[in-house]
Amino acid sequence: MSDVTVEAMEGKLVTDQLPTGAIVGESPLHHSDLASIAKKGPQQGGVHFHERKLKGLLTLRCAPSAEQLAVIESLLGVALPMQPLTSVTTDAISVRWMSPDEWLIIVAGEQAFEIETQFQEKLTGHYALVNISGGTTILDVSGSHVVDMLKKSTPVDLHASEFPVGKVVSTVFAKSGATICRLADDKFELVVRRSFADYLWLWIQDASREYGLVVKA
């Protein structure tokens, strides 16, 4: 890539943070070699685990005006979920409500910069869009005992009547935190911070032990 100059930036700095070429990123659980565990480890169990790694994750901060909402929808292809604790999930993009002025946007890793650039070009007014792809990873957990494992880990009520598919909460997870979204009856997405990922992976292994843990590549 060609080196950018700071002077070119107006207002906010947006730079592509991904290398071009053959350099492969290492996700927070890279050293755990989940691929080998997936191959050699148990294939049956009540909890399934998968690191959805190297995605593009962006935090959008905004108290959007109607005008901004329209622009954001045109840029993301989906409307921002405005109701607390709701989310939007499509094949291309996921948007999670985080707070009245905060959303988490999940796209393919290489798309983050594209979205940042488009926001920079098209969205006016007060907002912040922050790339957090390197500081975050996504753990997908599923299976017949996934709720039991989660009940050991988080104090939120996971009963389907209180936590339907599509609901998203940011909460305590073991002694760390996570943003939990229910993707299906027995499938949840945990968005966690990089530095805590190893601890949480250990925790999930432990909490799943009595049900059997299957790692998915």
Partner 1 sequence: MTQDLSKQSNRLQEGGRIDRSKPLTFTYNGKQYKGFDGDTLASALLANGVDIIGRSFKYSRPRGIVAAGAEEPNAIMQIGSTEATQIPNVRATQQSLYAGLVASSTNGWPNVEMDLMGLVGKIGGKMMPPGFYYKTFMYPKSMWETYESYIRKAAGLGRAPKENDPDIYDKMNQHCDLLIVGAGPAGLMAALTAARSGARVIIADEQSEFGGSLLSSKEMLNGKPAAEWVKDVVQELSGFDDVLMLPNSQVNGYHDHNFLTIQQHCTDQFADRAPNGQIAQRLHRVRAKWVVLATGAHERPLVYGNNDVPGCMVANAVSTYINRYGVAPGKDLVLMTSNDNAYRAALDWHDAGRNVVAIVDSRKNPQGTFVDAARDRGISIIVGSGVIEAHGSKRVSGVSIAPLNDAGDAVVGPIIKMAADTVATSGGWSPVIHLSCHTGARPVWNDEILGFTPGATYQKQLTAGAINGAFSTAQALSEGVKVASDALSQLGLAKSDVALPETEVVEEGKAMALFHIPHTKPTSKAPKQFVDYQNDVTAAGIELACREGFESIEHVKRYTAMGFGTDQGKLGNINGMAIAAKMLNQTIPQTGTTIFRPNYTPVTFGAIAGRDCGELFDPERYTAMHAWHVEHGAKFEDVGQWKRAWYYPKGNETMQQALDRECLATRKSVGILDASTLGKIDIQGKDAREFLGRVYTNAWAKLPVGKCRYGLMCGEDGMVFDDGVTSCLAENHFLMTTTSGGAARVLSWLEIYHQTEWPELEVYFNSVTDHWSTMTISGPNSRKLLEKLTDYDVSKENMAFMDWKPMTVAGVPARVFRISFTGELSFEINVQANYGLHVWKALFEHGEEFNLTPYGTETMHILRAEKGFIIAGQDTDGSVHPFDLGMSWAVSMQKPFSFIGKRGMQREDCVRENRKQLVGLKTIDPKAVLPEGAQGVLDPKAPVPMPMVGHVTSSYWSANLNRSVAMGFVKGGLNKMGERVFYPLADGRVIEAEICSPVFLDPKGERQNV
Partner 2 sequence: MFHIYCPHCCEYREEEEFHAAGQSHIARPLDPDACTDKEWGEYMYFRANPRGIHHELWVHAAGCRKFFNITRNTQTYEIKEVYKVGEKPSVVADEAK
What crossing angle do the helices spanning 194-208 and 146-153 adopt, rounded to 10°? Answer: 120
Contact call for residue 25 and partner 1 (CB under 8 A): yes
Q: Counting beta carbons within 10 angstroms of the beta carbon of residue 41, is it exposed (0 to 12), middle (13 to 18) or buried (19 or more)?
A: middle
Segment contacting partner 2 by CB under 8 A, of 43-51, 96-104, 116-124, 126-134? 96-104
**Which positions from 151 to 190 touch partner 2 by CB under 8 A, shown as an x/- string?**
----xx------------xxxx----x-------------
Contact call for residue 39 and partner 1 (CB under 8 A): no
Could you tell me if 88 and 94 are in contact, meaning their C-beta atoms sit under 8 angstroms apart?
A: yes
Q: Which is nearer to partner 1, 8 or 66 (CB)?
A: 8
Contact call for residue 154 and partner 1 (CB under 8 A): yes
Q: What are phi and psi of 24, to 5 degrees?
A: -100, 135
Integer Cα distance of 124 and 16 in angstroms:
21
* Per-residue DSSP letter, 78: S
Contact call for residue 147 and partner 2 (CB under 8 A): no
* Per-residue DSSP letter, 94: E
Integer Cα distance of 50 and 112 in angstroms:
22
Tokens representing 176 are 């760390």
Using CB under 8 A, pick the residue from 67, 152, 164, 217 that binds partner 1.
152
Chain contacts with partner 1 (rule: CB under 8 A): 1, 3-7, 9-13, 15-21, 23, 25-28, 31, 54, 59, 61, 101, 126-128, 130-136, 148, 151-152, 154-157, 159, 161-162, 174-176, 193-196, 198-200, 202-203, 206-207, 209-210
